[in-house]
Each structure stands twice: as structure tokens, then as C-alpha cells.
Amino acid sequence: MNPGPAGPARVTPFVLSGVTADRETAEGWARWRVTRHAFVAAPDLDLAAYRLLSPRARGLHDLHRAATHANLAFQETPMSVAVTRLLGARISANALKRQPTTRAGVMINGGGYQGKTETACEVAASFEDQWLDLHAQLNPDAVPGTRDLHAPVAYAQTPVTATPKGICEAVLDFYGADHAKMTLPQLVQQVRAALRDHGTTVLILDDITRLKMHREADQDALDLLRSLMSMNVTLVLIGVGIPGSGLLREGRRDPRTGVLLNPPAGRGKSYNDEAATQTERRFDLVHLDPFSFDTPKAKTAWTAHLAGVEQQLRLLDRTPGMLTTGTMPEYLFRRTAGIVGLLERLIEDGCTDAIDTGAERLTTDQLDGLDINLGNLPATHLVDERPAIPTGDRTARKGRNTVFDEQTPTTAAATTAIA
């Protein structure tokens, strides 16, 4: 905020655009990439400074606060950091390869509302920023005499009915390429030409578990994805329940290391068991899990995340430790099961209620009256992506803070039990 000439402070102006960047087009992706960190949060005023504002300035400030709570900055978690490191290293290494060998891809697995898509898109956008700067915003492999659109990263959602033609059309739609009345071989050729001509080095396919491998068309689609990996492109597949979807053969986690172990290929009911190894050997599978609350280290990480969220809130009666002291960390974990998307929804709704009622702070009693409602998600959102919302006793235990207490196996199980 800037001090005015006569004393009262002026609210920093901000603009609310009614258009949301559509990352499924090259233009929309570019717009999102260059503006993804452009939002400016509302000034952090206390009640005394707020009362000095004119009625109109208060209204604008309240609107800016609401926008701030609806656009909380993306925060890394210990789990997303592991994904970022693997994905960033794989994209960079593949982009520098010059041998005509197949590029290894990455599969990101995790439950709904855990930040898989945002984590992958942020890594890809950061790579594209550096790649464009390295090549002076130009396509280093452009065809002489042409001015092809340079798109180092392409993002598409897997169609609801995932067929080879549907996947090709979704990728071509990103570039705005015409694909009317094309046969499958023509579509495949068009996709390969589009990836090459636009200098695309990273192809992200979201909701990949729409591919159900019991259908022959889906097996053909998987063959198509493998063929795209030979186009010097890092293929990034994002989905829920990837290990059990058939994209990789059913495996189990090693309880000691947490690594997914796949059994050796054998002669089963699949039309081509041996071909499955071409997938598992060409992809790194990484899991993006929610927070846990069963060890002191896990509790510390959860509390640190809450501290980052708290600093972004613009409530007039916000006090240090509002989300991180007392029983609040344990309460918020119970309400959200450690899922960052559910936490964001609960905090956003809580801040709206706190402003509307004049409470201007978050408490467990106030949050008890709010339900986490995911019913207003877009119709295109997968049902499988919607996480189970914890139910049961919402009331936090009163008394001393037990957040950092050592837990026995019995109490740990009780604490982490989510309905």
C-alpha cells in the first residue's frame, strides 16, 4: 500500500480478469506460464489501518482479500519436492540428448487434489522459461524459411473416451491444427510432425488413467504413447491409481524402501505381456502422497506447511500461530487427511466466512460449521479424482498441545484414522 497525501492509505489496485488461461492450447499455456506468479496479494492491514479507509476503499480491499484467499500461492511440500527433482532432472537431461534414442518418460501417480498437475506444470513451465531464454525465444530446430510456433511444452488432457484418435486430436488441438476427417495413420503422422515442427520437448498428458487397458483400443493408445517417446519428447503421464491401471503391470511396494516392485513378465491373459516391459522400463513412476501425521518429522512438515498458508491470509484479526499452535494442526489434519487441495478449500471457505461474519480469524469452532463441498467441480473433472472427504468428530481436543507428542502404535493408528 502507498500512503496518501492526506493520511489514509490507498489500496493497491488490482485487476480481476474474467478469462482463465486454458492450458490445453498453446496460446493459453503461454499466457498461464508468463502470468502464473503475477498475482499480487492484498496489503496486510490490521483492524486500525482498515478503519482509516473510506467505505469504497474498504469494499475494494475486501474484494482484494477474497481474491487473495481464492488464489493462494502454490507451495512446495516434501512430497512435491521429490517429484520436482525427478521430473526436472529427466526433462533437462532428455532435452540435451542428441542421440536418436528413446527418451525416458515420467509417470506421476497420486490421489485427487494432491497437486499432481500443478507440480508437473510448474516444473515444465520453469524448464520452458530457461529453454526459451537459452535460445533467445527462438526454435533452434526451426525449418528454414518458416515461422512455426515455438512450443517447448505441450499439455493435453486424455479424452474421456481414450482412443488413439482421441489422444491424437487432443494433442493437435493444443497447436490449433486441423484434424478433420483424418484416418488414424494420418493423425499419428500429423502429431509427429506437430511435435517436431513446434520444437516440443515435453508432452504432458493428464488424467492418463482414463485409459482402461482391458480394451483393445486402449492398448493401441498405449502403443501410440510409446511411439511418441521416439520423437525426442519427454512424455509426462499424470493419473490416479497408475500401478493398478494396466499402464504398468500390477506391482507391490517394498515395505522397507517404498519402491514399487513389478513381477517379471510372464504369459498371462494380456494380448502381449512382453510388450508391457516397454512401458515400465521407459518410465519412472513417482508418487505424490498427502501429508502424514504419525511421526514428529511428519507433524513438523505439516505445521511448516500451515505456517506458509497462514502468512498468505489477510484477516484483520490474524495472529501469529493461528494455524500452527494449540490443537489447530491436528484439527486441520483430521478435517483434510493431509490433502493439500482439501486444506486449501477449507481455509478459503473459512476466510470467506470470517470476513462475512466479522470474526476476522479462523478457529476450530468456526471451521466446525463448514463442510468441504466438492460439488462445484467442473463436469469434466474425473469422479476418481475427487478425494474422500473425512467425516466424523470435528471437535479438536481441548487442553494441552499434543502435536509433537511421541505416539505409540496404538495412538498413532487412532490419530491417523480417517473415515
Question: Given this model, what pLDDT does residue 374 score?
Answer: 64
Better pLDDT: 260 or 193 = 193
- Among residues 76, 73, 9, the alpha carbon closest in space to that of 41 is found at 73
Instruction: List the domain range (segments joined by +) for residue 353.
Output: 44-72+292-416
* 355 and 234 fall within a common domain: no
Question: Given this model, what pLDDT does residue 375 score?
Answer: 54
Q: Is residue 26 part of a domain?
A: no
Query: Residue 114 maps to which CATH number?
Result: 3.40.50.300
Rounded Cα distance, 224 and 147, in Å: 28
Q: Are 262 and 273 in contact (CB under 8 A)?
A: no
* 113 and 234 fall within a common domain: yes
- The pLDDT tens digits of the residues spanning 309-339 come to 999 999 999 999 999 999 999 999 999 999 9
* 189 and 259 fall within a common domain: yes
155-159, 186-190, 280-284: lowest mean pLDDT where? 280-284
Question: Given this model, what pLDDT does residue 229 score?
Answer: 76
**What band does 385 get if pLDDT is binned at 50, 70 and 90?**
low
- Among residues 280, 351, 283, the alpha carbon closest in space to that of 65 is found at 351
Question: Given this model, what pLDDT does residue 200 score?
Answer: 93
Highest mean pLDDT among 134-148, 200-214, 258-272, 388-402: 200-214
90-94, 133-137, 343-347: lowest mean pLDDT where? 133-137
Q: Is residue 267 part of a domain?
A: yes
Q: Is residue 172 part of a domain?
A: yes
* 281 and 298 fall within a common domain: no
Question: Given this model, what pLDDT does residue 216 score?
Answer: 67
The count of domains in the chain is 2
* 224 and 259 fall within a common domain: yes
* 93 and 129 fall within a common domain: yes
Burial call 187-217: b when 16+ CB within 10 Å, e when fewer: bbebbbebbebbbbbbbbbbbbbbbebeeee
Mean pLDDT of 233-254: 74
Percent of the chain's residues with pLDDT above 90: 54
Q: Reduced to 3 states, what is the DSSP secondary structure of residue 322?
A: coil
Q: Is residue 29 part of a domain?
A: no
Query: Model pTM?
Result: 0.79
